[in-house]
Structure 1
């Protein structure tokens, strides 16, 4: 008799889990949607820093000292502060949004690593380090593209219908 009751409870649990009434790892559509809309990184701050970097990049051909000074005194410290700010943000509540956020953090850290390599390359006049910095910038860009794709996917599925 006990075995029949236990089997019956197991079958009921399987049925309820299958139809979504019991799911210990279940995250509802609305939870993910709410988390997606609540998620925000201060991306405009990064855009401003990258625009400054791009404008300085043009100066590199004209005046390496001006580029180096602005790069090391403005961009690198401000970008480090930006990373600290983003990493201090509350982590998204749902796994789906949290994965996208982690990609973003990896992207900005890769970009910062590239900046540090470029600084070292300029100080040492080392073309190999400069190549490594460029490769790291490409890696950062690829990660940023992955982040943008993840956010587009979330928007397509959890955004406004």
Structure 2
């Protein structure tokens, strides 16, 4: 008889513990541990390819064009597709995740604008693309700051 009481008590306690969970915390943990790591690799690979032909690594327009057209844009497009497939369960995290998607799309738009600028040899389009890249970097920093704040508010540590 005591055994049945103990089992019922343990079942009741496990149910009560479950009731006290934080859905934002759970969503953040899944997002940070399961969703982001694979995407970070994809994004880094595309950005490193872009950086290999831009700024101090610039060689010539043709090298830049074919690297961005053949490698950066397809890889970054795959990254965006995978980013958009992530499903979050809470409104708080969804708002932040949408900011990341918007920043990624803006950065991709910059890559496409660079292609057009190189095809047309249009320096104004290069300036436009650089502005988009700057805005996208600001948005990504904003995303990171908001994600960190949400994590802090929900007792989730980001390493």
TM-score between both structures, scaled by the size of structure 2: 0.77
Q: Residue 160 of structure 1: CA displacement?
A: 4.1
Q: Residue 59 of structure 1: CA displacement?
A: 3.9
| In structure 2, C-alpha distance between the alignment counterparts of 1:29 and 1:124, rounded to whole Å | 56
| In structure 1, C-alpha distance between the alignment counterparts of 2:94 and 2:21, rounded to whole Å | 15
| In structure 2, C-alpha distance between the alignment counterparts of 1:150 and 1:79, rounded to whole Å | 23
Query: 3-state DSSP class of the match of 1:159?
Result: coil
Residue aligning to 1:31: 23
Structure 1: unaligned runs, 5 residues or longer: 1-27
The structure with higher relative contact order (CA 8 Å, sep 6+) is 2
Cα deviations across residues 84-111 of structure 1 (Å, max 9, x unaligned)?
1111222x11111111100000000000
Does 1:44 pair with 2:46?
A: no
8 Å contact from structure 2 (residues 53, 64) kept in 1:
yes
Runs of 4+ in 1 over 6 A off after TM superposition: none
| In structure 1, C-alpha distance between the alignment counterparts of 2:123 and 2:75, rounded to whole Å | 25
| In structure 2, C-alpha distance between the alignment counterparts of 1:160 and 1:112, rounded to whole Å | 30
Residue aligning to 2:131: 135
Structure 2: unaligned runs, 5 residues or longer: 1-19
Q: Residue 44 of structure 1: CA displacement?
A: 2.0
More helix per residue:
2
Query: 3-state DSSP class of the match of 1:149?
Result: helix
Residue aligning to 1:150: 146
Residue aligning to 1:63: 60
Distance 1:114 1:29, change over 3 A: farther
2:84 corresponds, among 78, 83, 87, to 87
Distance 1:137 1:29, change over 3 A: farther
Higher Cα radius of gyration:
1
- In the comparison of the two structures, how many residue pairs are matched? 132
